[in-house]
Amino acid sequence: MSNQALIQNILTAIGGAENIDNVTNCMTRMRVKLKDNSKVDMEKLKNTDRVLGVVEAETLQIVLGPGTAKKVTDELIETHQLNRGLNPQDDPMATNVNESTGVTADWQGNKESVKQSRKQSPLRRGLELIANIFIPMIPAIIAAGLFSGLSTLIGQLIAQEVVAGNFWEGTRILFSLLGTSFLGYFAIYTGVNSAKQFGATEALGGMVGAMSIAAPLIDFATLLGLYNADQPLNSILTTGKGGIIGVIIGVWVLSKIEKIVRKHTPDVLDLIVTPFVTLLITGLLMVMVIMPVSGYVSDILVNFLNLFIGSSNPIISVLSGYILSAVFLPMVLLGLHHGLIPIYAIQLENLGGVSLFPVLAMAGAGQVGAAIAIYLYARKRNNQRLQKIITGALPAGFLGVGEPLIYGVTLPLGKPFITAGLGAGFGGAYVMLMGVQSTAWGPSGLVAIPLMFPDKMIHYFIGLVIAYIGGFIMTRLFMKPSDLELLD
């Protein structure tokens, strides 16, 4: 079936293009905001060929799979001249994997129930806002990280004289260029996306991000006596000071100032006066207050992380790695994991690599081990339905997408949700002990191996295996076949 035929079938089931208020997509789903939900023929939509599943929520979510979701959404918008909605908040770990028809109805429904039961506290709204800023950048983060890692690997091979010649040197430079094109200007992209979320002009948000890394900032800091030429990193004000935290705060301030200035500016002068005055005020606040203060906070956070994550004490490394991996799944369940994204970015900016992401990635591997143990129990009890769910969800689990296993298997059973985390902790302890770092963050599981620094890839893989085994053993120790009665 062609994309156009799929689009027509979807439109028929949801009440036509005229029933669509706006539409957008995430990695695997088309998300449709409808004018009248009563016009939807849900059974027809769920049975449409190439539709992998449907989640009934405030925004109708039609699961089409990676790649297909974007292509079909783009064609739908172009063909019928529809409004494109804002990029949705989605799980950063749920990328690059098809959602199996065999488990969609179970785990997605459970997930939505869990989400809807959460109270929208200010903290959670703030975390979701952070997620909305960074999630659209994940494909670029992954690509840039891969290119940077490959550039580093080729550079090492050249230095060791394993390879030589202009071809390899040219390849190294090209990969470095591609990686730097995003990671080197990460602050600008953060500024643009922050402006989208705060309702500011996107280009002005990008300028705030660019200001934080622009070379003239050093001249300005020197003039004010805030720059330490002997130890630039200890300067009160310098390029990159405050990192993305400063950029996000700066763009939030920009959004407030822009609205006030525009409100008091005559329409005929708006195009000139509003951006000029807004940027002037925001710029002064950025260099005089926001960057120094957020830089101070960022330095404290980095130093605190180094006490645990970067500790040279093997006992501390093992304990911190175990605890972080073991508690990550409850954080995902509560929606708190989005708050870790700025920490990833701070580590990347300050340390050149991310050590927290590889440790937390072990949590999904613990789920896989637990699911395998449950599968064996399901076979013993001849539970065909549970076997089918696990069989469909395991490939996604190995590739780093844990939602089908969490919401379809371990969370409904309760006990294995805990044992999976306890088992994952062993993999996290190993990864932390071996100092594994990644060049970016994104999907976990086996597909994250290329994101690791070349000399740490093998240790990341060993960590996954340990987490698989740990999740399996802990689940076998604390569960009995009779515990599956909930899903019989």
The reply to whether 305 falls in a domain is yes
Last residue of a domain, one of 289, 310, 331: 310
CA dihedral 232, 237, 241, 247 (to 10 degrees): -160
Q: What's the CA gap between 243 and 128, in Å, rounded?
A: 20
The reply to whether 254 falls in a domain is yes
User: What pLDDT does 334 receive?
Assistant: 58
Question: Are residues 287 and 339 both part of a single domain?
Answer: no
Question: Are residues 266 and 385 both part of a single domain?
Answer: no
Please tell me which of 88-102, 123-137, 442-456 the model is most confident about, judged by mean pLDDT.
442-456
CA dihedral 330, 332, 333, 339 (to 10 degrees): 100
Question: Are residues 277 and 156 both part of a single domain?
Answer: yes
Q: What's the CA gap between 469 and 462, in Å, rounded?
A: 11
User: Max Cα separation, the chain?
Assistant: 77
Last residue of a domain, one of 31, 59, 87: 87
Question: Are residues 232 and 355 both part of a single domain?
Answer: no
Residue among 193, 190, 234, 194 nearest 212 (CA):
190
Q: Is 434 helix (H, G, I), strand (E, B) or coil?
A: coil
Residue 99: which pLDDT band, with cuts at 50, 70 and 90? very low
User: What pLDDT does 67 receive?
Assistant: 67
Question: Are residues 289 and 358 both part of a single domain?
Answer: no
pLDDT mean over 297-326: 80
Token pair recorded at residue 136: 């659209």
pLDDT mean over 368-382: 91
Residue among 347, 328, 346 nearest 337 (CA):
328
Q: Is 21 helix (H, G, I), strand (E, B) or coil?
A: strand
User: Looking at this protein, which amino acid is placed at residue 308?
Assistant: F
Question: Are residues 372 and 278 both part of a single domain?
Answer: no
Count Cα neighbours of 125 within 13 Å in the Cβ-side half-sphere.
Answer: 6
Tell me the catalytic residues: 26
Residue 95: which pLDDT band, with cuts at 50, 70 and 90? very low
Domain that holds residue 80: 3-87
Question: Are residues 219 and 283 both part of a single domain?
Answer: yes
Residue among 62, 9, 13, 14 nearest 37 (CA):
14
Residue owning tokens 């689990």: 397
Question: Are residues 150 and 170 both part of a single domain?
Answer: yes
Q: What's the CA gap between 477 and 485, in Å, rounded?
A: 18
The count of domains in the chain is 3
User: What pLDDT does 342 receive?
Assistant: 73
Last residue of a domain, one of 240, 275, 310: 310
Question: Are residues 296 and 349 both part of a single domain?
Answer: no
Higher pLDDT, 216 or 488: 216
pLDDT at 332 over 90: no
Question: Are residues 281 and 353 both part of a single domain?
Answer: no
User: What pLDDT does 97 receive?
Assistant: 36
